[in-house]
């Protein structure tokens, strides 16, 4: 227990959980390598070890710092972290009730409640190691449901399968389609509207084209909260198309799924109960520790049928308890982390209403940011409309203001983001991600992401705007 207590002391001294000081003490990779003696080989003396762990911590990004607005995670929930530590110390796998009795029941309760929120009333689900793999589960189930014989026979000899996702959807569809043998060329990136929502008419055209080509439409991946613009597809209209053609509908709700708790904002998810599968990462907006991801499935039994291998050394049928409590054969993994406990702890501590409030507050703050920069000199919105807690904007330094917005001007704006990002990082007050969006002809812009974190308020948002201005004005 001594080691655990020393880590707790480091977390306090370095201000990780209750952040003090800068967000980051940046070092270039080679410089950091020189400063940290990370070499492995001989055993370190106790003091050296702890000194090194302290330095590793000091040169890590404090993702719990309010200024960390860089990714779709951050704002770690303290109860969630407590559950994660407990799960780590219990050090067991989620595959059998035998080795994880209470943790199995925790997973069942969390999945049951999540299914009910999504509206899958007789569904099933498991925790997975992240959203990309949850999305792959959706594709595997789609394929298994249509052609169960593929489990044994494989794809060889079948016609090509086609997956539909939107131009603005997450790249996990691309990576997953390679692994699953579908091929990235068979992932059709359906056109989106200006806000990043999949166009149902374009989806339908794409399906018609597939059919005309003699290929098989396999699954539609719709998105609740796109990675960059935060768009929610129109699930009712997408579901209409999927029903018309009899295609599996998966929803990637990894980012935006958490608004399901909010009475005010859950209208964004209208129609999700018509999907066949749904991915959701509470490690994103809700601040559960990484990794915390679920695949939820409408049809009970399908996860097990698709993934079952019946290993006799794990899933013995002559056990002393009801073996229907063994969840391991629903998974493509063998050992599986007990990720449910952290979400269970967070949820039990906050309650439905606490989580609803957290989502509402976060949506409010993001909208506040958007409204504050809407007419502010030096800021230019990528989208006028509020969609989710990712807010996209360009920052325009003084020298570029009130100029004609021609191609040369945009080239210069494009170059501002990496420079301003560098200034943020070196200053240590802020981290905000940036990217271009080529399919919309958008040059580098910032995407500020707010996740649930009670300590952020309007005054903090005001300070963010001032800091961006302070660092960027003279660039």
Q: Would you count residue 17 as binding its own copies (CB under 8 A)?
A: yes
3-state secondary structure of 324: helix
Q: Minimum CB separation from its own copies for residue 444, in Å?
A: 8
Q: How far is the CB of 424 from its own copies (least distance, A)?
A: 10
Contacts of its own copies in 186-205 (CB under 8 A): 186
Determine the distance from the C-alpha atom of residue 432 to the mean position of all C-alpha atoms in its chain, rounded to a whole number. 16
Task: Kindly give, in sequence order, each residue whose CB lies less than 8 Å from that of residue 410, ignoring residues fewer than 6 positions away.
Answer: 443
Contact 62, 286 (CB under 8 A): no
- 321 contributes a contact to its own copies by CB under 8 A: yes
Give the chain's end-to-end CA distance (angstroms, integer): 51
Contact between 383 and its own copies (CB under 8 A)?
A: no
- 47, 152, 375, 474: which one contacts its own copies (CB under 8 A)? 152
Tell me the closest approach of the beta carbon of residue 210 to its own copies, in angstroms.
Answer: 13
Using an 8 Å Cβ cutoff, are 135 and 160 in contact? no
Site for its own copies, residues 331 to 360, rule: CB under 8 A: 332-337, 341, 344-345, 347-354
Report the distance separating Cα 125 and Cα 403, nearest Å. 54
User: In 228-301, where does DSSP find H-type helix?
Assistant: 235-245
Which of 163, 119, 156, 126 has its CA nearest to residue 142?
163
Please, what is the minimum distance in Å from the beta carbon of residue 105 to its own copies?
6
Binding-site size, its own copies (CB under 8 A): 160
By CB under 8 A, name the one of 322, 375, 384, 474 that touches its own copies.
322
Helix, strand, coil share (%) of the chain residues, nearest 5: 45, 15, 40
Residue with the two structure tokens 């699954």: 219
| By CB under 8 A, residue 263 contacts its own copies | no
Q: Answer yes or no: are the C-beta atoms of 215 and 186 closer than 8 Å.
A: yes
Structure tokens at 69: 């607005």
Residues 6+ apart with CB under 8 A from 426: 26
**Are 100 and 338 a contacting pair, CB within 8 Å?**
yes
Query: CA of 317: how far to CAs of 99, 174, 325, 336, 436, in Å?
Result: 15, 39, 12, 20, 54
Q: Which stretch binds its own copies (CB under 8 A): 198-206, 256-264, 312-320, 395-403?
A: 312-320
Contact set for its own copies, span 391-420 (CB under 8 A): 415, 418
Q: Cβ of residue 60: shortest distance to its own copies, in angstroms?
A: 5
DSSP 458: H
Stretch that binds its own copies, among 258-266, 281-289, 373-381, 401-409 (CB under 8 A): 281-289
The stretch among 32-40, 240-248, 394-402, 459-467 that binds its own copies (CB under 8 A) is 32-40
Candidates 115, 118, 126, 133; binder of its own copies (CB under 8 A) is: 133
Binders of its own copies in range 61-90 (CB under 8 A) = 61, 63-64, 70-71, 73-74, 76, 78-79, 81-86, 88-90
Least distance to its own copies, CB of residue 462, Å: 25
Tell the smallest beta-carbon distance from residue 399 to its own copies (Å). Answer: 19
Write down the least CB distance from residue 43 to its own copies, Å. 3
**Bond before 291 cis per omega within 30 degrees:** yes
Return the number of the residue (398 or 415) whose C-beta is nearest its own copies.
415
Site string for its own copies, 442-461 (x = CB under 8 A): --x--x--------------
């Amino acid at each position: 227990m001594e080691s655990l207590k020393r880590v707790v002391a480091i977390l306090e001294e370095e201000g990780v959980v209750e952040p003090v000081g800068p967000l980051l003490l940046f070092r270039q990779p080679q410089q950091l390598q020189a400063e940290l003696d990370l070499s492995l080989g001989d055993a370190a003396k106790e003091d050296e070890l702890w000194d090194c762990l302290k330095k590793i911590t000091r040169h890590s990004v404090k993702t719990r710092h309010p200024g960390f607005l860089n990714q779709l995670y951050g704002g770690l929930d303290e109860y969630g972290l407590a559950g994660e530590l407990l799960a780590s110390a219990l050090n067991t796998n989620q595959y059998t009730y035998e080795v994880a009795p209470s943790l199995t029941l925790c997973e069942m309760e969390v999945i049951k409640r999540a299914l009910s929120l999504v509206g899958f009333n007789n569904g099933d689900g498991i925790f997975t190691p992240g959203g990309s793999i949850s999305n792959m589960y959706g594709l595997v189930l789609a394929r298994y449901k249509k052609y169960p014989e593929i489990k044994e026979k494989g794809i060889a000899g079948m016609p090509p399968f086609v997956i539909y996702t939107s131009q603005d959807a997450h790249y996990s569809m691309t990576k997953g389609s390679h692994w699953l043998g579908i091929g990235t060329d068979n992932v059709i990136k359906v056109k989106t509207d200006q806000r990043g929502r999949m166009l149902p008419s374009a989806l339908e055209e794409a399906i018609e084209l597939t059919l005309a080509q003699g290929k098989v439409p396999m699954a539609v991946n719709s998105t609740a909260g796109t990675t960059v613009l935060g768009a929610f597809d129109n699930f009712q209209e997408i579901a209409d198309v999927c029903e018309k053609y009899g295609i599996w509908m998966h929803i990637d709700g990894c980012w935006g799924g958490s608004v399901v708790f909010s009475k005010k904002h859950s209208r964004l998810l209208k129609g999700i109960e018509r999907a066949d599968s749904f991915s959701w990462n509470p490690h994103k907006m809700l601040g559960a520790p990484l990794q915390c991801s679920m695949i939820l499935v409408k049809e009970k039994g399908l996860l097990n049928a698709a993934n079952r291998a019946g290993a006799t050394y794990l899933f013995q049928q002559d056990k002393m308890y009801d073996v229907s409590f063994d969840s391991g054969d629903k998974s493509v993994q063998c050992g599986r982390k007990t990720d449910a406990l952290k979400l269970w702890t967070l949820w039990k501590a906050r309650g439905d209403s606490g989580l609803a409030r957290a989502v509402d507050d976060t949506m409010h703050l993001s909208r506040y940011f958007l409204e504050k920069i809407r007419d502010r000199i030096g800021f230019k919105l990528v989208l006028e409309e509020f969609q989710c807690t990712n807010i996209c904007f360009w920052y325009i330094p003084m020298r570029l203001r009130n100029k004609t917005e021609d191609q040369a001007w945009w080239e210069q704006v494009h170059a501002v983001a990496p420079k301003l990002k560098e200034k943020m990082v070196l200053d240590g007050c802020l981290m905000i991600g940036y990217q271009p969006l080529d399919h919309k002809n958008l040059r580098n812009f910032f995407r500020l992401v707010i996740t649930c974190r009670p300590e952020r308020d309007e005054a903090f948002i005001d300070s963010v705007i001032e800091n961006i201005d302070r660092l960027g004005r003279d660039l």
